[in-house]
Amino acid sequence: MPSQPLKILVIGGSAAGPKAAAKARRMDEHASITLIQKEADLSMASCGYPYYIGGFFDDRNQLICTPAGIVRDPDFFEKAKRIEALVQTEALSIDRDAKTVTCRHLPSGETKTLPYDRLVIATGASPLYPPVPGSDLEGIRTLHSLGDADALRAVRDAGKVTKAVVVGGGLIGFEVCEALHLAGIQTTVIEKTASILPFLDPDLAKLVENHVRSKEADIITHNGVAAFLGENGKLSGVKLDNGTELPCELAVIAVGVRPNIELAREAGLTIGAKGGIAVNDQMQTSDPDIYAAGDCVECRSLITGEMLRAPFGDIANLQGRVIGRNLIEPGSASFPGIIHTGICKIFDFTVGFTGLSEAAARAAGFDIETATVSGLDIPGYMQGKLLISKMIADRKSGRVLGFQCIGPGDGSKRIATVAMAIRGNLTVDDLSNADLPYAPPYSLALDHVIVSAHVLENKLLGHMKGVSVTEVKQRVDSGSNCFILDTRSPQEFEEMRLGIGETLIPLGAIRGRLDELPADKDREIILYCKISLRGYEGAAILQAHGWTQVKVMEGGIMAWPYPREK
Amino acid sequence: MPSQPLKILVIGGSAAGPKAAAKARRMDEHASITLIQKEADLSMASCGYPYYIGGFFDDRNQLICTPAGIVRDPDFFEKAKRIEALVQTEALSIDRDAKTVTCRHLPSGETKTLPYDRLVIATGASPLYPPVPGSDLEGIRTLHSLGDADALRAVRDAGKVTKAVVVGGGLIGFEVCEALHLAGIQTTVIEKTASILPFLDPDLAKLVENHVRSKEADIITHNGVAAFLGENGKLSGVKLDNGTELPCELAVIAVGVRPNIELAREAGLTIGAKGGIAVNDQMQTSDPDIYAAGDCVECRSLITGEMLRAPFGDIANLQGRVIGRNLIEPGSASFPGIIHTGICKIFDFTVGFTGLSEAAARAAGFDIETATVSGLDIPGYMQGKLLISKMIADRKSGRVLGFQCIGPGDGSKRIATVAMAIRGNLTVDDLSNADLPYAPPYSLALDHVIVSAHVLENKLLGHMKGVSVTEVKQRVDSGSNCFILDTRSPQEFEEMRLGIGETLIPLGAIRGRLDELPADKDREIILYCKISLRGYEGAAILQAHGWTQVKVMEGGIMAWPYPREK
């Protein structure tokens, strides 16, 4: 036991800060640990806000309670963890020479200066606002603080708002959209870029768009907010870049966050190129006695090696724990980096991603192959639900670089599975022979992840040539001379079809009807079925009979995001 | 195109055989492919039988249909895949010199001899019977063939059987138990060894036992079947090794399978030490023109390097696909081996495992550490459900060797996650910082898998000393002098407690009540709470105050499988 207890100061009481403080306490009962928190609450389950707003549960305390039902207030921190938590207290400045932090108690205005041996900066991030007129009107909010959650829940409970706009088509934007929709509010999501959910490639994003519209929420892409419109200081509508005006009484801004780095910058700590506080693998800033974690730092991509910002609650907790260990035993723990994994419930769809998207992989300079695959999560006789996914691999090494998965099926399990595969630097071949848990309540005999790897392997080996639904649409729109072949049954064709000039020849009839195919063996032929498994089998037949430009529309009709004939 | 098409012969039409044949067809449109199948049906979804019997679905065709609803009969194989399927045809012998197989059409008795260039043996396995009197009574079945499924479904539909016994407490035994229970039949599972579900360590198996009993199905362990009792050729009961007689009208035997290796052995192919056909990584037998896959072969453990038998449907499919490639392009594909992953629904519990159990790891000579962890799958405010798991790692390298997970929560995702981690040779440290998909509908901020790794890391680093519920029970039963400390709240204690002589001091009060703890600082103190997180925090406090033998009861009350006081 040291004669003088270690003095630990933690700035930030949301995720990374309390985690670092609690872990340090478990490592050293005798340290002096003080937590400075600007807000009134501590350790808020902020990722739960949309579900509170949407009425998934009604007891607000669940957002700030331990699993045993105790509110995580300063008294709890003192009693259970012997951590002094100073709430409603803002850290004003760090004096690195004196090793002190000056802070102000916001209600009283009193300032005090606290000494530290080791300091943790977990100041988080602040929501961005579009720089347009009218942003200060009443009725415009973000969803960042518990106060925001309270306000939006009050909107639900009051039941007066009828129309809302969500600005920003990312994860939080759609979580808010669903919550407002569940509150009976007609909601429109506005996205400035051409495609929602930037971590998804546009083919899959478009399918999510269709799903949201099927729930009678609206989405406007490729159109930013030009101004917020108001009457008597209250929001009355949103004007878009193209001049459209959308009347609404509520607007929720979800266009991203900027890291809170002012304290660190003013203290002379190094800021990284991506705008976050620079830290090493031990989460140490440029001052070895100061650590930083969470939304305010940059961390390393384990795939590209690049530094990036990853404002995710789970990452903040992991980093906080690493800091907790290093506070007591410097150098004992490392945070290796992230692969960029995330997930979101959007109405009946699960939307998840891990690693690089196709676009991101190309931008990073990888020579890649991709496979888009549709299929059930569990057998049809067990009421399996659809998953549509894209797997991305490095063409030369076969290393899996990314995976996106959407649909009503259990995508969460598949994202977690591939996230670990990426973490383990596994290849498509490794995934092709993965030993995953199989029983009908949980999986197909060959799980969706394995089938995805098989399709990707078939493409890497040249056994299958794929074409995306977008490319097929472009061919059709441009009047391409390609021959389009639907290989399903006449009954399936009758019930639903694309109507893009396709010919129907069921798989089982193809060998007997080769004379109905183009005489020009070099003409492009594109095959598909419901999920394009039969399409692939048909393609193998045609290739064997001499057609040279045979391709499979990946994911089949289930992945087709454009209007159909029926 | 070769002038003479390749002649491929496949023996076995269930999983591995049709997969190999179909993959070969996709690789080579011109090969001659013939499938020999002893049963009348092809490509049966045999893992779905228990759910058909249990009434999860009623359309039997779903067990033998493609996802598009076409029955996989010889006509389908001919039309869609140009594979000649000879059903109700038994392969009698292989002449490796002549490269022929002689087979008999069972209904007609006609034999014929078919030539091959390359042969696939996928003869599967046959159910074992306990070698006891009365095994031929009417009313005794296995669940292996579609005929068995039909017979057991007919039992459900007739509604006359009131009492059944399932012999064998493995995966299939409990799937059958649930199915019969759902049919309104009072069911008892008989297990010869001391513990059900041999892939689980006994602590967790005992919790599954309790769950099954809570559903009013019964389990008798440590007691085999001595005889089947009958009247007029019909089963009337089962006599156990200890003399107990259980009246029943139905007994289902599920004590494992033996590989069908007679054909291979008689053809002189090498049989492995574990009783399966020996194959190399390319699934090639000792004859390079003969491949084998599925329940009849041995494969390699990627963890221990040992050969073992793994009669699982998913593995058979993976191996079949590898063979399909090698049939057409010899040497082009490998099956690396398995890590031993499986899962089973048992009433409201998911029961899964991957890699080695604690017992298996010790038996294989590993120096291991384990962590048993209880926790929710998703947040309480999202109606999270309990998971109880055990993670096993090599003490020196930190490499994860195994994981078991049971409970009403989503264990399937966690098993798949750890299965990939094991496949990637990841360590506890890697899993401690895993980047998994987090959002409240899918996970806690730190997923159960990550928390399990954290606890295991704490144990490996010596930050926490654990003791299993079994060890605590033994201490209590033997009158050990240990001091047992429950760190929950008085309210929780009032609602439910172990009643094993424990003292209640809530975590938040411990620091102020150290004088109530043993004066002898070397006395063993065992702490716990509901899941033993607060127990762990309390242990850190006591250690810091000089107690030397402080341990945490892993998994807490949730992992306690023995009777409680209330």
Give mean pLDDT, residues B108-121. Answer: 98
Q: Indicate yes or no: CB of A345 within 8 angstroms of CB of B419.
A: no
pTM, whole model, 2 decimals? Answer: 0.97
The C-alpha atoms of residue A403 and residue A360 are separated, in whole angstroms, by 12
pLDDT in tens, B12-59: 999 999 999 999 999 999 999 999 999 999 999 999 999 999 999 999
Answer left, alpha or beta for residue A425, where phi above 0 means left and psi between -120 and 50 means alpha. left
Find the residue in A nearest to B534 (Cα).
A80
Q: List helix spans (H) across A114-248.
A: 146-158, 171-182, 202-214
Q: Indicate yes or no: CB of B436 within 8 angstroms of CB of A446.
A: no
The C-alpha atoms of residue B383 and residue A313 are separated, in whole angstroms, by 20
DSSP state of A532: S
Nearest alpha carbon to residue B114 among B41, B32, B31: B32
Find the residue in A nearest to B311 (Cα).
A438
Find the residue in B nearest to A422 (Cα).
B424
Which of A51, A419, A442 minimises the CB distance to B437? A419
pLDDT in tens, B402-412: 999 999 999 99
Using pLDDT thresholds of 50, 70 and 90, give the confidence band for residue A97: very high
The C-alpha atoms of residue A500 and residue A468 are separated, in whole angstroms, by 15
Nearest alpha carbon to residue A419 among B200, B319, B417, B346: B417
pLDDT of residue B1 exceeding 60:
no
10 Å CB burial of residue B224 (0-12, 13-18, 19+) is: middle
Chain B CB contacts of A312 below 8 Å:
438
Q: Indicate yes or no: CB of A51 within 8 angstroms of CB of B381.
A: yes
**Nearest CA to CA, how far is B4 from chain A (Å)?**
15
Using pLDDT thresholds of 50, 70 and 90, give the confidence band for residue B525: very high
Quickly list DSSP for B225-291.
EEEEEEETTEEEEEEETTS-EEE-SEEEE-S-EEE--HHHHHTT--B-TTSSBP--TT-B-SSTTEE
pLDDT in tens, B130-180: 999 999 999 999 999 999 999 999 999 999 999 999 999 999 999 999 999
Find the residue in B nearest to A301 (Cα).
B435
Q: Indicate yes or no: CB of B433 within 8 angstroms of CB of A322.
A: yes
Which of A318, A439, A529 minimises the CB distance to B345? A439
Residue with tokens 């199948």: B37
Instruction: Please enumerate in sequence order all residues whose Cβ is within 8 A of that of A530, keeping only pairs 6 or more positions apart, or say none.
Output: A374, A488, A492, A556, A557, A558, B67, B68
**Nearest CA to CA, how far is B122 from chain A (Å)?**
17
Both structure tokens of A513: 């009807």
The C-alpha atoms of residue B411 and residue B404 are separated, in whole angstroms, by 9
Using pLDDT thresholds of 50, 70 and 90, give the confidence band for residue B3: low
| pLDDT for residue A69 | 86
- β-partners of residue A361 are none
Full set of structural domains in chain B with CATH: 7-124+258-328 (3.50.50.60), 140-255 (3.50.50.60), 344-460 (3.30.390.30), 466-559 (3.40.250.10)
pLDDT of residue B2 exceeding 60:
no
Furthest CA-CA distance within chain A: 92
Find the residue in B nearest to A487 (Cα).
B80
Do A277 and A298 form a contact (C-beta atoms < 8 A)? yes
Chain A CB contacts of B376 below 8 Å:
67
**Nearest CA to CA, how far is B549 from chain A (Å)?**
17
Give mean pLDDT, residues B230-244. Answer: 96
Interface test with A, best of B347, B351, B381 (most A CBs within 10 A): B381
10 Å CB burial of residue A115 (0-12, 13-18, 19+) is: middle
| pLDDT for residue A3 | 66
The C-alpha atoms of residue B94 and residue B115 are separated, in whole angstroms, by 10
pLDDT of residue B103 exceeding 70:
yes
Find the residue in A nearest to B355 (Cα).
A435
Which of A412, A413, A441 minimises the CB distance to B345? A441
pLDDT in tens, B57-92: 999 999 999 888 899 999 999 999 999 999 999 999
Other CB atoms within 10 A of residue B489 CB: 20
Interface test with B, best of A343, A381, A461, A543 (most B CBs within 10 A): A381
User: For chain B, what is the radius of gyration of the CA atoms?
Assistant: 27
Which of A26, A57, A343 minimises the CB distance to B437? A343
Q: List helix spans (H) across B267-382.
A: 313-328, 358-363
Chain B CB contacts of A426 below 8 Å:
420, 423-424
The C-alpha atoms of residue A300 and residue A310 are separated, in whole angstroms, by 9
Residue with tokens 């630990």: A8
Give mean pLDDT, residues A510-527. Answer: 97
Using pLDDT thresholds of 50, 70 and 90, give the confidence band for residue A1: very low
Chain B CB contacts of A463 below 8 Å:
26-27
Q: Indicate yes or no: CB of A381 within 8 angstroms of CB of B63.
A: yes
Instruction: Please enumerate in sequence order all residues whose Cβ is within 8 A of that of A512, keeping only pairs 6 or more positions apart, or say none.
Output: none
**Nearest CA to CA, how far is A299 from chain B (Å)?**
12
The C-alpha atoms of residue A450 and residue A389 are separated, in whole angstroms, by 12
- β-partners of residue A167 are A190, A253
Phi, psi angles (nearest 5°) of residue B316: -60, -40
Interface test with A, best of B61, B328, B436, B513 (most A CBs within 10 A): B436
Which of A28, A379, A423 minimises the CB distance to B435? A423
Nearest alpha carbon to residue A163 among A190, A134, A145: A190
pLDDT in tens, A182-208: 999 999 999 999 999 999 999 999 999
Is the pLDDT higher at B504 or at A67? B504
Which of B317, B415, B424 minimises the CB distance to A446? B317
Q: Indicate yes or no: CB of B534 within 8 angstroms of CB of A424.
A: no
The C-alpha atoms of residue A500 and residue A518 are separated, in whole angstroms, by 17
| pLDDT for residue A68 | 83
Chain B CB contacts of A413 below 8 Å:
410, 412-413, 416-417
Letter string b/e over residues B466-483, b meaning 16 or more CB atoms within 10 A of that residue's CB = bbbbbbbbebbeeeeebb
Q: Indicate yes or no: CB of A67 within 8 angstroms of CB of B376.
A: yes
**Nearest CA to CA, how far is A549 from chain B (Å)?**
17
| pLDDT for residue B118 | 98
| pLDDT for residue B481 | 93
Q: What ipTM was assigned to the predicted interfaces of this complex?
A: 0.97
Give mean pLDDT, residues B489-500. Answer: 96
The C-alpha atoms of residue B39 and residue B313 are separated, in whole angstroms, by 17
Size of interface A-B (CB pairs under 8 A): 304
Find the residue in B nearest to A413 (Cα).
B413
**Nearest CA to CA, how far is B132 from chain A (Å)?**
31
Q: Indicate yes or no: CB of A412 within 8 angstroms of CB of B437.
A: yes
Do A414 and A453 form a contact (C-beta atoms < 8 A)? no
Other CB atoms within 10 A of residue B372 CB: 26
